[in-house]
């Protein structure tokens, strides 16, 4: 039996191809939006995975260190290290800022870690070039997405750092690439004031009689020193001993150190359920709108194509073509349009995804779901055209 749909498509292939291209680009945008969401989730998972931590110890009543700011003393790690089940604990600070290289600047998350301790929680997992930070000041390891190269001089706040190594897929939950610097420098960078402010503070401290007592030598200097030093970090990352129960160790730390502790599952819930929840809903809305627009376009095109064949449909009905043959023709065209559109969309999304500034993750599972959704959408969109075709009176072919 002749494929009426196939022949019609071949006969008007130009119109069909252009329609498929337009629909395909729309489907490509939809797939990319899904990929942006998957990329955000993957960034969040990578952030947790690459931290090398099993527990996150943060300030009480905060959701830190990623979702809220958190400050705990930088010697807390010693107490945490002594808790049952803890293999290793390390301080870490996070600061999202603009990092300059020459005249350019890059949005990055600056991570403060203890130098000379590769493999500890919070450290860059592996390097693609150069070496780890070994000095206590002014060295940096940058994610490749920053575009920096080993040997580059970069400026963070008021200090200049030398890039000594490169890593990859170390990103914040917002997708910003990470730059690792020594902890002391990071602590300073977080609370660094300008020179005028420092002078102003020193003057205010010196004019305070209780802090600048005559006959108490060294008091004023001690107070000023404590004011200009930052003794806080954002979190202590904990690696557990093999077989240790995260909930049990977390309960110990909460009870004895009076700090908030999050396990891996809880941190995932914070990142996915709170930090990127609004963005997810935003993307979800876009996906719904794009799906509705795509369905409307398919419905319009199939309806227009069908209405353009009313006389032929009347003739086909008059010469005895069954309704199901005509319905099948319209459905096949709608599904054909969907398949062509999906193929173009998938190719387009795969082609342009790497050029997006943030990570776009196109998963095969999403492609399969998207394909099924496109086919269902095309079938639903053809209902209007099918109704119109079934209403055609074969007598129209005879006229009169």
The binding site for other proteins (CB under 8 A) comprises 1-2, 4, 7-8, 10-12, 311-312, 315-322, 325, 393-395, 397-400
CB of 298 to other proteins, least distance (A): 20
* Residue with Cβ nearer other proteins (125 or 336): 336
Q: Which residues contact 228 (CB under 8 A, 6 or more apart)?
A: 198
* Residue with Cβ nearer other proteins (258 or 324): 324
CB of 328 to other proteins, least distance (A): 13
Distance CA 235, CA 69 (A): 10
CB of 397 to other proteins, least distance (A): 6
* Residue with Cβ nearer other proteins (179 or 302): 302
CB of 332 to other proteins, least distance (A): 13
Query: Could you give the angle at the alpha carbon of 87 between the alpha carbons of 82 and 89, nearest 5°?
Result: 70
CB of 381 to other proteins, least distance (A): 21
* Residue with Cβ nearer other proteins (132 or 317): 317
CB of 308 to other proteins, least distance (A): 10
* Residue with Cβ nearer other proteins (320 or 354): 320
CB of 338 to other proteins, least distance (A): 20
Name the packing angle between helices 383-391 and 323-352 (round to 10°). 160
Residue 1's alpha-carbon distances to 5, 7, 293, 325, 336, in angstroms, are 12, 12, 35, 11, 18
Peptide bond into 268 cis (omega under 30): no
CB of 314 to other proteins, least distance (A): 8
φ, ψ for residue 319, nearest 5 deg = -85, 10
- Residue labelled with tokens 């292939």: 13
CB of 321 to other proteins, least distance (A): 6
Using DSSP bridges, classify how beta strands 127-130 and 86-101 pair: parallel, antiparallel or unpaired: unpaired
* Residue with Cβ nearer other proteins (7 or 274): 7
* Residue with Cβ nearer other proteins (211 or 315): 315
Identify whether the C-beta of residue 234 lies closer than 8 Å to the C-beta of residue 69: yes
Identify whether the C-beta of residue 261 lies closer than 8 Å to the C-beta of residue 267: no
Q: In the numeric block, which tokens belong to residue 80?
A: 């945490």
φ, ψ for residue 242, nearest 5 deg = -55, 130
* Residue with Cβ nearer other proteins (318 or 375): 318
* Residue with Cβ nearer other proteins (179 or 316): 316
């Amino acid at each position: 039996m002749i494929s009426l749909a196939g022949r019609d498509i071949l006969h008007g292939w130009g119109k069909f191809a252009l329609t498929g291209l337009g629909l395909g680009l729309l489907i490509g945008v939809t797939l990319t939006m899904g990929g942006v969401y998957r990329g955000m989730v993957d960034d969040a998972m990578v952030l947790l995975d690459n931290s090398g931590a099993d527990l996150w110890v943060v300030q009480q009543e905060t959701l830190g260190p990623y979702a809220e700011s958190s400050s705990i003393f930088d010697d807390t790690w010693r107490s945490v290290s002594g808790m049952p089940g803890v293999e290793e604990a390390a301080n870490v600070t996070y600061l999202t800022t603009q990092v300059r290289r020459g005249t350019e600047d890059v949005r990055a998350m600056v991570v403060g870690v203890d130098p000379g301790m590769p493999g500890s929680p919070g450290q860059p997992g592996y390097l693609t070039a150069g070496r780890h930070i070994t000095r206590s000041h002014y060295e940096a390891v940058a994610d490749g997405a920053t575009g920096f190269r080993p040997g580059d001089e970069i400026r963070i706040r008021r200090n200049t750092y030398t890039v000594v190594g490169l890593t990859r897929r170390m990103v914040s939950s917002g997708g910003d690439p990470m730059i690792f610097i020594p902890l002391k420098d990071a602590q300073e960078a977080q609370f660094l004031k300008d020179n005028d402010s420092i002078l102003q503070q020193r003057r205010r401290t010196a004019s305070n009689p209780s802090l600048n007592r005559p006959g108490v030598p060294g008091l004023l200097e001690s107070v000023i020193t404590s004011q200009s030093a930052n003794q806080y970090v954002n979190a202590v990352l904990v690696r557990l001993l093999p077989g240790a129960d995260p909930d049990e160790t977390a309960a110990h730390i909460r009870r004895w150190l009076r700090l908030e502790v999050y396990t891996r599952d809880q941190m995932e819930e914070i990142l996915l359920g709170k930090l990127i929840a609004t963005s997810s809903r935003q993307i979800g809305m876009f996906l719904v709108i794009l799906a509705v627009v795509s369905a409307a376009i398919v419905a319009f095109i199939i309806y227009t194509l069908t209405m353009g064949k009313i006389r032929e449909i009347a003739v086909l009905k008059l010469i005895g073509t069954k309704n199901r043959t005509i319905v099948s023709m319209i459905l096949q065209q709608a599904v054909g349009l969907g398949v062509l559109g999906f193929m173009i969309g998938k190719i387009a999304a795969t082609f342009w995804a790497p050029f997006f500034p943030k990570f776009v993750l196109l998963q095969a599972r999403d492609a399969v779901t998207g394909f099924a959704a496109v086919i269902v959408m095309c079938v639903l969109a053809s209902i209007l055209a099918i109704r119109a075709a079934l209403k055609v009176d074969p007598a129209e072919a005879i006229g009169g």
